Structure 1
Amino acid sequence: MNQKQLLRGAADTVAANVPLADFNTADAVEFLNTLPLPRAADTLAAVPLPRAVKLLEAPELQRAGQLVAALPPPRAAALLGLMADDRATDIVHELDDSHRARLIPLLAPEARHSIQLLLGYPPDTAGALMTTEFVGVPADWSVAQTLQHIREVERSRETVYAIYVLDPSSGQLQQVVTLRRLITGAPDASILSVAQLNPPVTVDPLLDQEEVARLIRRHDLLAIPVVDAQRRMLGIVTVDDILDALIDESTEDVHKFGGVEALDRPYMQIGFFEMLRKRAGWLSVLFLGEMLTASAMQHYEQELARAVVLTLFIPLIMSSGGNSGSQATSLLIRSLALRELRLRDWWKVALRELPTGIVLGGILGVLAIIRISVWQLGGLHDYGEHWGLLALTIGAALVGIVTFGSLSGSMLPFALKRLGFDPASASAPFVATLVDVTGLVIYFSIAALILRGTLL
């Protein structure tokens, strides 16, 4: 039994005067998150090693990298060495180069090798998410030998969802045995006799985390093995790790939808000037885009001077087009993320969104015509003697603008993905800005056709 197993198996006996003695892990993590960094680091340094490891491994713990950096190097290295390799790697990722250079040489050789291996994989891949702590046994073992092995190594493994049966000579993955099948097998039976019937589902270490999540969901797995080109086991990606990664990615996408550079830390931990930097860039780009709206209105200045009543409906026209575009963008980004659609399906989406936009625009157009008619006939507002043509103009403009908004909003994610960008960058503000400018052109072009000889 190695040092990690002995320390992990130590009883977490905490005296009443030790910090966090009366807290369970979840409450202790929440308490640490509320403390100033120096006090939180002092508290973490005072609790026993097994308890400190549990706290650092909790995904809800904020500032984990800063806490480790604030600890004495021997204490920090001891904690990293006892943690699950994937979580320890996440924390090392947060450290600056000087702290890494100081801590990594202090780790035990096994832990140092695992962490350096995981650090070598690109972010958001199976290799970066996997843990090297899995239960693997030779294919010539019996059920009894496997159960005894699990008893010996259980405390040094992050999870024991399944047992991976490996070729005794090459180390290649041959089969997977679930824990349920294992404990129901006869002790003298071969481990392969209780293995699943289907070939094991595996992933390459460079596979994107979204594809890993899709495979886990499709095959209803709790963990998926990561293998190299020779099918040798490198590690496993567990369902809880992939959920944490997808939550982080969805949070990043939500920020992009709002036209904000993704925040890499909780809102209250972002400094004032850093927050300005993350928001000012997109806001400036959107502002410059909206300046084109002013240019479009200047182009139709004479029409506006002759028919001031047209200005009353500009906010209505612009918001309707932007809303339809944002709807389409949100739907398509999600479908692309879930692999429900591929790039080659763009024309199918266009053919679907075209009639959808026409019908939706027609519905809004009818509502606008009814509204103008009720206001005019009810004496709530006088739109002039040509109010009927005005209502027809607004209705027709809504059909055109909503249709354009739906088409452009659905095509932008395809275009960005084709160019190698994140489709989430086709955020709602970006689509709204695009549709605002083109919507004015559509609006005044239709007005010029219908109202020529009357108001224009």
Structure 2
Amino acid sequence: MEKEKLLELLEPQAPDEILDVIRDEVSELHPATLADLMDQFEDEDILPIFNTLDLEQKVAVFHHLSESTQQHLATTMRFQRLVKLVSLMSHDDRVDLLQSLDDDLKETVIRSLAKAEREDILRLSNYKEGTAGAVMTSDYVWIYKENSVREAIKKIKREAPDKETIYTIYVLGENRELVGFVSLRELMLATLNDKVEDLMTTDLVSVDATDSQEESADLLSKYDLIAIPVQDEAGRLLGIITFDDVMDVLEEEATDDFHKMGSVSLGKMTLADASISAMIIKRLPWLLILVFMNIFSGAGIAYFEDTIEAVVALVFFLPLLIDSGGNAGSQAATLMVRALATGTVKMKDWFRLLGKEVLIALGIGILMAVAVSFIGFYRGGIEVAVVVSLTMMIVVLFGSLVGMSLPFGLQRFNLDPATASAPLVTSIADIGGVLIYFGIATWYLGVGV
């Protein structure tokens, strides 16, 4: 369906039979597809289109809308409709929505909800951002271990329509402690008089509410789970983290790592929604730091003024050489940050990878040195060619080792390896490149400083 066709629902003169056809087509669309269409509309058209949907469609489509569109709808729709929508949303989604609204509207909506919903929202909102508790949902099915299969199935049938997932049923003890789980398939294949405790699996994979989101995502991926239970310190079941929630976490983490590699972090903002002032504030600090770091490059050039005056041809190769070191360092840092993020490389691998990187960088450096030696000979003769070649080999080695080691060093001190951004690595490589280049030139050419 095209965007323009959907807008026909707002035409006051459109014949009823045409509108009925469009509504039928809309009802057959997947909620994610319809949400993609609605995200393309101008603000003034979003709410009228949204209001043409039935309540079940609204809840399904709202889940897939962008955060900015969700906020627009929440702040423009009638209050009672907002309360009804929130009450029908999945438990974790409604917490995310309410936390994105201003405090007054958030509190008013919460006060208008049923007591059980209020308590659920407040409990889920108490967990620190970035923890498993912050992304879990209390929308799951549980049974007691003493239940029979007949009792369990009866409870599941009663609760299933309102639950996010029913494929894994969590089994609790008398104090609500998590003691195992049973699959829906196992229950369906068992006899009705069987006891749940005879069917359940007790080999649990779970996380604490205070564990990181990344740890939850790693365990879900490692054990191929649909959902992972979240417990408190006493082992009581608090909620579950589903696979789709983990996908959102992984997307956020990957985006954040990409931003950090560019020395900028937008947090919860998106590039489209961030204001000009916010973007300036987010991007300026690291740029200022890097400006002052590059003063050292200027100081290095000033220190070797005599060398430069003696062999002016050296200046021609300065950008080429220091950029090569920075580029090699950025490559190494990118590979290492990603490897650390995915867990394919550990701290214990540093020494082994250091030796490997030395060989790789030397191989790259020698080949690049051979390539640039011809230009050096053409521009300044054999002596300049030797200086440029030696420098190329060493700056590539230096930049690569900085790019590989910096993420390891940051992780060693419990800092995010992604902070080893390309601009930071490049700036360090630039400073080293200037000192290496003119140091070799001064030594080899015999020019006094």
Candidates 28, 32, 35, aligned match of 1:26 = 32
Give the aligned partner of residue 333 of structure 1: 337
Q: What is the CA deviation profile of residues 233-264 of structure 1, one whole-angstrom value per residue up to 9, with x for unaligned ones? A: 11100111011111012112112212333263
Alignment of 1:414-453 (within 5 A): 414-452=408-446
Please name the residue that 2:182 is paired with.
Answer: 177
Residue in structure 1 matched with residue 397 of structure 2 by the alignment: 403
- The answer to whether the Cα contact below 8 Å between 1:321 and 1:439 also exists between their aligned partners in 2 is yes
Match for residue 159 of structure 1 among 149, 156, 165 = 165
Give 3-state SS (helix, strand or coil) of 1:308's partner. coil
For 1:356 and 1:88, locate their aligned partners in 2 and report how far apart those are by CA, in whole Å: 51
SS at match of 2:130: coil
Name the counterpart of 2:375.
372
Q: Is the 8 A contact 1:19 1:43 kept in 2?
A: no
Pick the aligned partner of 1:383 from 375, 379, 385: 379
C-alpha spacing 1:18/1:85, structure 2 compared with 1 (3 Å): farther
| Contact preservation (8 Å) 1:326, 1:409 | yes
SS of residue matched to 2:193: coil
Structure 1 residue 210 displacement after superposition: 0.9
**Which of 54, 72, 80 in structure 2 is aligned with 1:74?**
80
Rounded to whole Å, the distance in 2 between the matches of 1:18 and 1:49 is 19
| Pairwise CA distance, 1:161 | 2.7
Match of 1:235 among 220, 235, 239: 239
TM-score by length of 2: 0.88
What's the CA shift for 1:451?
1.8
Return the offset for 1:266: 3.6
Matches of 1:44 and 1:263, distance apart in 2:
29
The match for 2:357 is 353
Structure 1: which 5+ runs fail to align? 1-14, 377-381
- The residue that corresponds to 2:135 in the other structure is 129
2:299 to 295, 311, 319: 295
Instruction: Provide the TM-score with structure 1 as the length reference.
Output: 0.87
The reply on whether 1:270 has 2:274 as its aligned counterpart is: yes
Q: For 1:111-157, what per-residue CA distance to the aligned partner results, in whole angstroms no more than 9, with x for missing partners?
A: 11111111100112111111101110011222232222222111110
1: CA distance, partners of 2:33 / 2:224: 31
**1:11 matched to which residue of 2?**
none
What root-mean-square deviation, in Å, do the aligned CA atoms of Structure 1 and Structure 2 show? 2.5
Amino acid at match of 1:383: R
SS at match of 2:166: coil
**CA deviation profile, 1:341-393 (whole Å, cap 9, x unmatched):** 44455444434433433333223223323x337xx5xxxxx434xx2222221
1:323 lines up with 2:317 in the alignment:
no
How far apart are 1:414 and its partner, in Å?
2.8
Q: Distance in 1 between matches of 2:125 and 2:160?
A: 25
Residue 307 (str. 1) matches residue 311 (str. 2): yes
Rounded to whole Å, the distance in 2 between the matches of 1:125 and 1:290 is 38
In the TM superposition, what are the counterparts of 1:217-232 in structure 2 within 5 Å?
A: 217-232=221-236
Native 8 Å contact 1:81 1:107 kept in 2: yes
- Counterpart residue identity of residue 76, structure 1: L
User: In the alignment, what sits opposite 1:108?
Assistant: 114
Segment drifting more, 63-72 vs 236-245 = 63-72
Specify the alignment match of 2:10 in structure 1. Answer: none
2:172–2:180 CA contact under 8 A, matched in 1: yes
Residue aligning to 2:42: 36
Is this contact kept in 2: 1:143–1:189, CA < 8 A? yes
Q: Is the 8 A contact 2:307 2:441 kept in 1?
A: no
Residue 89 of structure 2, aligned match among 65, 83, 89: 83
Moved more, 116-125 or 290-299: 290-299
CA shift, 1:17, in A, is 6.1
Does structure 2 conserve the Cα–Cα contact (< 8 Å) formed by 1:256 and 1:425? Answer: yes
Deviations 1:196-241 (A, max 9, x none): 3x61111001111111111111111111001112211111001110
Matching residue's letter, 1:285: I
Once the 2 structures are TM-superposed, how far is the Cα of residue 304 of structure 1 from its aligned partner?
Answer: 1.3
Matched residue type, 2:59: V
Equivalent pair of 1:365/1:396 in contact (CA under 8 Å):
yes
| CA pair 235-263 structure 1, distance change in 2 beyond 3 A | closer
Alignment of 1:214 onto 2:218: yes
CA shift in 2, pair 1:275/1:427, >3 Å: same
1:135/1:157 contact within 8 Å kept: yes
Q: Indicate if the aligned counterparts of 2:217 and 2:249 stay in contact, CA closer than 8 A.
A: no
Q: CA deviation at 1:45?
A: 4.2
Does the CA-based 8 Å contact 2:90-2:164 persist in structure 1? yes
Whether 1:147 and 2:153 are equivalent positions in the alignment is yes
| Matched position secondary structure for 1:175 | strand
Q: Do the aligned residues in 1 keep the contact of 2:228 with 2:240 (CA within 8 Å)?
A: yes
Which letter maps to 1:200?
Answer: L
> What's the secondary structure of 1:124's corresponding residue?
coil
Secondary structure in 2 matching 1:137: strand
Identity of aligned residues (%): 31
Report the alpha carbon displacement of residue 431 of structure 1 after superposing the two structures with TM.
0.7
